[in-house]
Chain A
């Protein structure tokens, strides 16, 4: 039961979040055009209606109330036509809608974090009410104000039995003021369907027509049944349902008991009378049509995908265990070989597909930036447009989640510091008065390249250098810094070019955090900038963290793997080429540069016979700004590996800092440890 509730909550959160996201996009689109089209109004109305319905079902009253108010508001707008609003009112409407969706999102976030919902939402509701009163005062006739969305219908019709042949009827009344009667009725219908009953119910369109609430309140909800047996089962089920106030069984045998059978007033007939109903039939059809389009997509829990991927990884490993089993080596097994080839092809395909399942388009992350640019535009009073290129680029779900914040931070920086403060400055510099930020994503082989470019004032290397000097970040004479190095200093901890703290950036979370986030998913970040022409930040992110090209190497009996991307070259050197620096550390000269040597067996205390420099091999590696040579026994070869994280328990021992980033399972079922070239450098302390 608990589990069922959790699933329902999950579904609710997923649905509400995606609705709010769609709504946001829609609002931004329409604000650009400074106009709500009739479709937009209908769409907002429908969205709010859905949120209201599902929130009521989950008994989240604050969400329901807010959604209800906005629904009312847009109901009015729809009835009176958007044209009836002055442009001032329109912009107020935009702001109000944005604000309300923010409140809704805040509430949803609270649900996600298991925090209690806000109980006092008077602020926002009264704001909506005031606005509604204001615009409705101007309108021709007083709209159906902040009360219930629909006007009282073809009123006071006497309760009546529907026109049906069913011999038995159950007439139900829901608890007074429980709200959403039609949905409650619909849930009841579903419950009855679940126990396999064959029945009719009235009003028939409870699912789609919220106006039926009225008739349910007045006359009750009717369920018609064909036999006494069914009736008894149904009554039992009805008793189990919550929120039903009273119910009554009626025998429909020409001689009505308590109920006068006024069939001519059947709910079907009076449904049109119940209008102006929210969600009339036309927009409803639209919604259905949209639904049909989405049918090819289903939402799957991420943990299931992870489990699938893990399983596929296992199959790949097991397959190679079977085919390279020592027992069959040297045997001539034609049909076996044929089958294993087939198996390998199938497992490869399976792996490709299971990997692709985790890939999602980056558009969600990009679209969020629209909102940020919009808000900051207002707050900073700058005119900026956001251009998005290649939002269909797909990337691993886990990576998408972790690069959202860095991108947001960079966009904020561009808005805040990049784009010139006034139009005049831009015009004086011969630029389009409207600033532009370009967000683009593209694939290059195994990487996704994301660039955030602005056409603002750019960054002055001199200023950066001066600031770095003040903050004591310089490590060599100023004249020796290249431009690239200077721009790289922006990403050092303790560096923030903006002296003032604004609402949007400069809150102590600087580019160093951005850099850290990007590096944590195996990516790199670089900044280029021309004074007066703007800046461009480039993120290079691996497609997936789960699979890497690795080089296997051996030290003693241990097998390690290092990512190919870190390796520059492997070399054998003779003893004579081994040099020593001033501290007596071993160094080697490659292409006129000196690099320190890290002997892996020494660093990790591994027993090996290969301690002479000419017996083993040097791997020249590079990570971040460090470059050095690793001394190992031998290279075993290149392989695609599936990265597995180490058990969390081992994190207690600071294992990451000793240069171990994860492990992978070899074809024979043994484990190879994946080395982190950068952390090894730190661990070796050279």
Chain B
């Protein structure tokens, strides 16, 4: 039903060099063709299948609520929250449950990738303050790919 994050962490522990102060671990995932990362400090667990109970009269990006071992967790589709189009959910689609300052929230992502150690000093700000409010930094992974960092505080704030 759910994959405990600890397992992922464990595997990674062996490959990753011992972290120093300026690095932080990030869980990376894909959403609408871009790679994004969220600090593992926030991540509670990754749920691969769970029935989402829809709520009436809420914005479309709030997909509903799920029952995570008795705890009711609201689920957000960050694709929709970022103003991109809806897409069909696939096998790899999963929910990452985050604990942001004791607010539990689940985000729907296209697929979960890996846990990376990121040197925080290398994170550069987003060049233009565009509509992607949910992103608060970026770092290049390879020549073609960048990793965008999810702004968790922004995620739970409302406007």
Residues of A at the B interface (CB closer than 8 Å) are 310-311, 313-314, 317, 558, 603-606, 644-650, 652-653, 655, 658, 660, 663, 665, 669-673, 683
- Complex contact A671–B70 (CB within 8 A): no
CB pair A646 B65 closer than 8 Å: yes
Chain A residues with CB under 8 A of B59: 653
* Known interface pairs A652-B158, A665-B67, A671-B65; A647-B53 also in contact (CB < 8 Å): no
Q: Which residues of A are found within 8 Å of B74, using beta-carbon distances?
A: 646-647, 649-650
Would A647 and B72 count as touching, CB distance under 8 A? yes
Say whether, besides A647-B104, A649-B103, A649-B105, A673 and B55 are in contact (CB < 8 Å).
yes
List 17 extra interface pairs beyond A603-B56, A655-B55, A671-B65, CB under 8 A: A311-B70, A317-B70, A558-B54, A604-B56, A604-B57, A647-B72, A647-B74, A647-B104, A649-B74, A649-B105, A650-B58, A653-B58, A653-B62, A665-B70, A669-B67, A671-B53, A672-B53
Q: What number of B residues sit within 8 Å (CB to CB) of A?
A: 22
Known: A670-B53, A671-B65. A655 touches B70 (CB 8 A): no
- 4 residue pairs, one from A and one from B, having the closest CB atoms: A604-B56, A658-B57, A671-B53, A652-B158
Chain A neighbourhood of B62, CB < 8 A: 650, 653
A604: which B residues are within 8 A, CB to CB? 56-57
Which residues of chain B are near A646, meaning CB under 8 Å? 65, 72, 74
B73: min CB distance to chain A, Å: 7
B89 interface residue (CB < 8 Å to A): no
Is B70's CB under 8 angstroms from A606's CB?
no
- Name, among B51, B56, B73, the residue most crowded by chain A CB atoms within 10 Å (CB to CB): B56
A667 CB → nearest B CB, Å: 12
Out of B51, B58, B66, B73, name the residue touching A655 (CB < 8 Å): B58
**B18 lies within 8 A of chain A by Cβ:** no
Q: Chain B residues near A663 (CB, 8 Å)? A: 53, 65, 72
User: Could you tell me the distance in whole angstroms from the C-beta of B150 to the nearest C-beta in chain A?
Assistant: 16
B56 touches A605 (CB 8 A): yes
A-B contact pairs, 22 of them (CB 8 A): A314-B69, A558-B54, A604-B56, A604-B57, A647-B65, A648-B103, A649-B156, A650-B58, A653-B57, A653-B58, A653-B158, A655-B57, A658-B56, A660-B55, A663-B72, A669-B67, A670-B51, A671-B53, A671-B65, A671-B67, A671-B72, A672-B53
Interface residue SS majority, chain A: mixed
Closest Cβ–Cβ distance, residue B59 to chain A (whole Å):
7
Q: Which residues of B contact A310 (CB under 8 A)?
A: 70
Contact B66 A671 (CB under 8 A): yes
CB B68 to nearest CB in A, in angstroms, measures 10
Closest Cβ neighbor of A663 among chain B residues? B72
Q: Report the separation of the CA atoms of residues A683 and B56 in the bound assembly, to the nearest whole angstrom.
A: 12
Cα A658 to Cα B54 with chains together (Å)? 14
- Determine if B65 and A660 form an interchain contact, defined as CB atoms under 8 angstroms apart: no
> What is the distance, in angstroms, from A322's C-beta to the closest C-beta of chain B?
15
CB–CB B57/A558 < 8 A:
no
Name the A residues within 8 Å of B103 (CB-CB): 647-649
**A665 and B156 alpha carbons, distance in the complex (Å):** 24
When C-beta atoms are compared, the residue in chain A nearest to B62 turns out to be A653
A600 to chain B, nearest CB (A): 9
Interchain nearest-CB distance for A21 vs B (Å): 33
Nearest Cβ distance between residue B19 and chain A, in whole angstroms? 27
Enumerate chain B residues within 8 angstroms of A683, measured Cβ to Cβ: 57
The reply to whether A314 and B65 form a contact with Cβ atoms under 8 Å apart is no
Partner of B56, one of A644, A649, A660: A660
Q: B67: which A residues are within 8 A, CB to CB?
A: 665, 669-671
Report chain B residues within 8 Å CB of A606: 56
| Contact residues, B116-149 vs A (CB, 8 A) | none
> Across the interface, which residues of B come within 8 angstroms of A314, CB to CB?
69-70
Chain B 62-89: CB-based contact to A (< 8 A → 1; otherwise 0): 1001110110111000000000000000
Task: Looking at the assembled complex, report how far the CB atom of A635 sits from the nearest CB atom of chain B, in whole angstroms.
Answer: 19
Contacts of B54 in A (CB 8 A): 558
Please give the distance in Å from A192's CB to the nearest CB on chain B.
Answer: 41
Query: Contact between A647 and B158 (Cβ–Cβ < 8 Å)?
Result: no
Given contacts A558-B53, A606-B56, contact A313 B70 (CB under 8 A): yes
A residues near B65, Cβ cutoff 8 Å: 646-647, 650, 663, 671
Chain B residue at smallest Cβ distance from A604: B56
Q: How far is the CB of A559 from chain B (nearest CB, A)?
A: 8
Collect the chain A residues with CB atoms within 8 Å of residue B55's CB.
Answer: 650, 655, 660, 673
CA distance A535 to B92 in the complex (A): 67
Instruction: Closest B residue to A654 by CB, please name it.
Output: B57
B8 to chain A, nearest CB (A): 25
Cβ < 8 Å to A, chain B residues 7-44: none
Which residues of the partner chain B approach A311 to less than 8 Å between Cβ atoms? 70
Q: Distance (Å) between the CB of A681 and the closest chain B CB?
A: 14
Most buried by B among A313, A663, A671: A671
Give bound CA distance, A649 to B158, whole Å.
Answer: 9
Q: Which residues of A contact B56 (CB under 8 A)?
A: 603-606, 658, 660
- The chain A residue sitting closest to B103, CB to CB, is A649
Q: Which residues of B contact A644 (CB under 8 A)?
A: 72
| Least Cβ–Cβ distance between A561 and chain B, in angstroms | 12
User: How far is B68's CA from A314's CA once the two chains are assembled, in angstroms?
Assistant: 11
How far is the CB of A599 from the nearest CB of chain B, in Å?
Answer: 13
Q: How far is the CB of A642 from chain B (nearest CB, A)?
A: 10
* A425 → chain B closest CB, angstroms: 55
A665 to B, closest residue via Cβ: B67
Give, as a whole number of angstroms, the nearest-CB distance from B100 to chain A. 9
Residue in chain B with minimal CB distance to A651: B158
Q: Give every chain A residue within 8 A of B58 (Cβ-Cβ).
A: 650, 653, 655
User: What is the CB-to-nearest-CB distance from A347 to chain B, in angstroms, rounded to a whole number?
Assistant: 15
CA of A672 to CA of B104, assembled, Å? 19
Shortest distance from the beta carbon of A685 to any chain B beta carbon, whole Å: 12
Cα–Cα distance between A430 and B128 once the two chains are bound (Å)? 84
- Complex Cα–Cα for A408 and B117 (A): 59
Most buried by A among B58, B66, B156: B58
CA of A665 to CA of B74 in the docked complex: distance in angstroms?
Answer: 14
Q: Least Cβ distance of A160 to chain B in Å?
A: 60
Which residue of the partner chain B has the closest CB to A669? B67
- Residues of A close to B105: CB separation below 8 A: 647, 649
Q: Which residue of A lies closest to B59 (CB)?
A: A653
Q: Assess whether A673 is in contact with B70, with CB atoms less than 8 Å apart.
A: no
Q: Does A673 contact B53, Cβ atoms closer than 8 Å? A: yes
**What is the CB-to-nearest-CB distance from A572 to chain B, in angstroms, rounded to a whole number?**
24
Residue in chain A with minimal CB distance to B105: A649
A648–B57 alpha-carbon span in the complex (Å):
16
Min CB–CB distance B107 → chain A (angstroms):
12
